[in-house]
């Protein structure tokens, strides 16, 4: 694909998704302090999984948002994915009404509250076709994140049909968000009732691995969320992502090696590193190993190909 190199192609920007795990306060603050100096463009902040996680309060998130904005990052406040209690709606309203930062809606309830203002629609809202995206755009959605089970064929169709001005973000690295439940699977694993969970998910900074009976590291339990044990990595698909006009690549944080992961993405984006050799480095940094099946319209856990030709 030599024509690709001759055509000026817009570089995707790099985003860091919200921390999906429960990390101790100091670890969160350190993570964002380092991120302020890292080569990323956009930072999503806030608790998206469980409203009982209270190491950081709303004022803390807003203070972090200001610091990161001062450091030149675009900050987006992310929101809870599963909204059940009135207290959760109350907190959601406060985030939606913050008046300063863009907000990511991870449930249609948040879209309802954000209607008429600009907002981002996250990957847990089911945006599977252009008619859905058009409805969301009329509400004020200016960026959407591809649902993680959709692959490159669907993305290509959506890119042709997306409303004018709509930005597309792709979840490009991280353990995949697969399901949400009322039940807390971490508390269940510890034999604790959810109402007295003792914040036990703080012990698992990358989730708690669930293995099959023949020792296949299959899933990662993260409170009420279930993730893949394997880590999605789409960096080898960088050429295709560029060709499709993807605006933003999202890295979902893990507890270790984040600066190395960001550095590999950054180097590949500026052309200083071959995405495929970067992939080998990245595989070594993952808690379980890589997968990319969804991108190829296959089972999500599969590892199909290492690269598209560049």
Partner 1 sequence: MELVCPAGNLPSLKAAVDNGANAVYFGFRDDTNARHFAGLNFTPEKMADGIRYARRKGVRVFVALNTYPRPDGFARWQQAVDRAAGLGVDALIAADIGVLDYASSRHPELALHLSVQGSATNYEALRFYQRHFGVRRAVLPRVLSMSQVRHVIEQSPVEIEVFAFGSLCVMVEGRCILSSYATGRSPNTYGACSPASHVEWIETPSGLDTRLGGVLIQRHPKGEQVGYPTLCKGTFCVDGHRYHAIEDPVSLNAMALLPELDAAGVRAVKIEGRQRSPVYVGQVTRVWREAIDAYRRDPTGFVPRPDWTAALGKVSEGAQTTLGAYHRPWQ
Determine, following the binding rule CB under 8 A, whether residue 214 of this chain makes contact with partner 1. yes
How near is the Cβ of 274 to partner 1 at its closest, in Å? 29
**Which stretch in 54-62, 123-131, 238-246, 256-264 sits in contact with partner 1 by CB under 8 A?**
123-131
Binding partner 1 by CB under 8 A: which of 29, 36, 71, 83? 83
Report the alpha-carbon distance of residue 20 to residue 241 in Å, rounded: 24
Yes or no: say if 50 and 223 are a contact pair by the CB < 8 Å rule: yes
Binding partner 1 by CB under 8 A: which of 193, 271, 280, 284? 193
Q: How long a stretch of residues is the chain?
A: 310
Distance set, CA 49 to CA 21, 168, 182 (Å): 8, 23, 11
How near is the Cβ of 292 to partner 1 at its closest, in Å? 12
For residue 20, give both structure tokens: 């999906």
Scored b (16 or more CB within 10 A) or e, 41-58 reads: ebbbbbbbbbbbbebbee
Report the alpha-carbon distance of residue 256 to residue 253 in Å, rounded: 9
Q: Which residues contact 79 (CB under 8 A, 6 or more apart)?
A: 46, 48, 92, 95, 96, 103, 104, 105, 106, 107, 110, 122
Q: For residue 300, which of 167, 174, 157 has the smallest C-alpha distance?
A: 174
Determine, following the binding rule CB under 8 A, whether residue 146 of this chain makes contact with partner 1. no
Residues 14-33 that bind partner 1 (CB under 8 A): none
Determine, following the binding rule CB under 8 A, whether residue 157 of this chain makes contact with partner 1. yes
Determine, following the binding rule CB under 8 A, whether residue 164 of this chain makes contact with partner 1. no
Determine, following the binding rule CB under 8 A, whether residue 132 of this chain makes contact with partner 1. yes
Binding partner 1 by CB under 8 A: which of 38, 189, 273, 283? 189
Binding partner 1 by CB under 8 A: which of 210, 276, 303, 307? 210
Determine, following the binding rule CB under 8 A, whether residue 107 of this chain makes contact with partner 1. yes
Determine, following the binding rule CB under 8 A, whether residue 184 of this chain makes contact with partner 1. yes
Distance set, CA 11 to CA 3, 104, 145 (Å): 16, 22, 17
Residues 250-269 that bind partner 1 (CB under 8 A): none
Yes or no: say if 166 and 141 are a contact pair by the CB < 8 Å rule: yes
Q: Is 229 left (phi over 0), alpha (psi -120 to 50) or beta?
A: alpha
Residues 280-299 that bind partner 1 (CB under 8 A): 293-294, 297-299
Binding partner 1 by CB under 8 A: which of 89, 202, 258, 273? 89
Q: How many residues bind partner 1 (CB under 8 A)?
A: 72
Binding partner 1 by CB under 8 A: which of 41, 130, 274, 281? 130
Residues 39-68 that bind partner 1 (CB under 8 A): none
Determine, following the binding rule CB under 8 A, whether residue 211 of this chain makes contact with partner 1. yes
Yes or no: say if 187 and 248 are a contact pair by the CB < 8 Å rule: no
**Which stretch in 34-42, 66-74, 164-172, 180-188 sits in contact with partner 1 by CB under 8 A?**
180-188
Determine, following the binding rule CB under 8 A, whether residue 188 of this chain makes contact with partner 1. yes
């Amino acid at each position: 694909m030599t024509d690709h190199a001759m055509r000026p192609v817009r570089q995707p920007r790099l985003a860091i998704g919200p921390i999906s795990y429960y990390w101790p306060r100091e670890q969160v603050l350190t993570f964002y302090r380092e991120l302020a100096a890292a080569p990323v463009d956009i930072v999503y902040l806030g608790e998206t999984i469980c409203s009982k996680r209270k190491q950081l309060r709303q004022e803390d998130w807003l203070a972090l948002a200001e610091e990161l904005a001062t450091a030149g990052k675009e900050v987006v406040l992310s929101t809870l994915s599963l909204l059940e209690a009135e207290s959760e709606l109350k907190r959601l309203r406060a985030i939606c009404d913050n008046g300063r930062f863009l907000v990511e809606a991870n449930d249609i309830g948040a879209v309802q509250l954000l209607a008429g203002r600009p907002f981002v629609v996250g990957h847990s809202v089911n945006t599977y076709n252009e008619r859905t995206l058009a409805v969301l755009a009329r509400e004020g959605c200016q960026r959407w994140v591809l649902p993680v089970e959709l692959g490159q064929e669907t993305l290509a169709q959506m890119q042709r049909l997306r409303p004018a001005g709509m930005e597309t973000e792709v979840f490009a690295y991280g353990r995949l968000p697969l399901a949400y439940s009322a039940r807390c699977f971490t508390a269940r694993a510890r034999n604790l009732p959810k109402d007295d969970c003792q914040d036990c998910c703080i012990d698992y900074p990358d989730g708690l691995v669930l293995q099959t009976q023949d020792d296949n590291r299959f899933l990662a339990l993260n409170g009420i969320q279930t993730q893949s044990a394997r880590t999605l990595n789409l960096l080898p698909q960088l050429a295709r992502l560029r060709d499709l006009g993807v605006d933003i690549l999202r890295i979902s944080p893990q507890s270790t090696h984040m600066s190395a992961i960001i550095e590999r993405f950054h180097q590949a984006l500026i052309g200083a590193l071959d995405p495929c050799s970067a992939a080998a480095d990245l595989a070594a940094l993952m808690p379980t190993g890589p997968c990319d099946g969804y991108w190829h319209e296959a089972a999500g856990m599969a590892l199909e190909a290492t690269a598209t030709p560049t």
